[in-house]
Amino acid sequence: MKTSHKTWTAAITFLLAGSLASVAWAQNTTDPQQFISGSARSCQGCDLQEANLSGISRVNARLRQAQLQLANLSDSNFEGSYFTCANLASANLRNTKLRFANFVDANLSGTDLRGADLRNVDLGGAIVDENTNFEGANLEGAKLWDSATLYRSGVDLRRIPRNVEGDLERVRCRNR
């Protein structure tokens, strides 16, 4: 009977420790190194300028108001992450998985998004300029612009690939 009691105690301790660890991982940090190392999922307002975040996975990360200028996020997985009001000017997001990410009011001036998976992202209110590169990016289902989106002078909107099938769907919906 004592062995059974010890087994239950050990199992409950293990479960509680695992739960506490996952709660700690979900909390926000202001220490960029904790985010980079993976011990925190959120780094809202962090200074990650020029940080090397290439090849990492931070699904559902919260990087609101983070300073990510010149940061390297290439070949990473940031699906479902929040970059609201973040500064990603001249950042490298080539071939990055960003499905369902939120870039509302983010600064994407000069950001390299070539080959990025931007399906279903929200770019409403984002700042883009003539150096923001969407070449080869998958923008299927993405919210590309709204009345708050800022396009600096010189931006050629023809360079932003459009999903013609999605446009046709919207036309059909309006005709109902």
Instruction: Give the CATH fold of the 29-176 domain.
Output: Pectate Lyase C-like (2.160.20)
Q: Which residue has the higher pLDDT, 92 or 30?
A: 92
CA distance 126 to 24: 31
Q: What CA–CA distances, in Å, run from 83 to 74, 145, 173?
A: 15, 16, 30
Q: pLDDT per residue over 88-147, tens digit each?
A: 999 999 999 999 999 999 999 999 999 999 999 999 889 888 899 999 999 999 988 665
Helices of type H across the chain: 2-26, 32-37, 164-174
Please tell me the predicted confidence (pLDDT) of residue 161.
55
Q: Which residue has the higher pLDDT, 130 or 9?
A: 130
Please tell me the predicted confidence (pLDDT) of residue 157.
62
Per domain, the residue ranges of the chain are: 29-176
In terms of pTM, does the model score above 0.75?
A: no
SS3 90: coil
SS3 105: coil
Please tell me the predicted confidence (pLDDT) of residue 167.
40
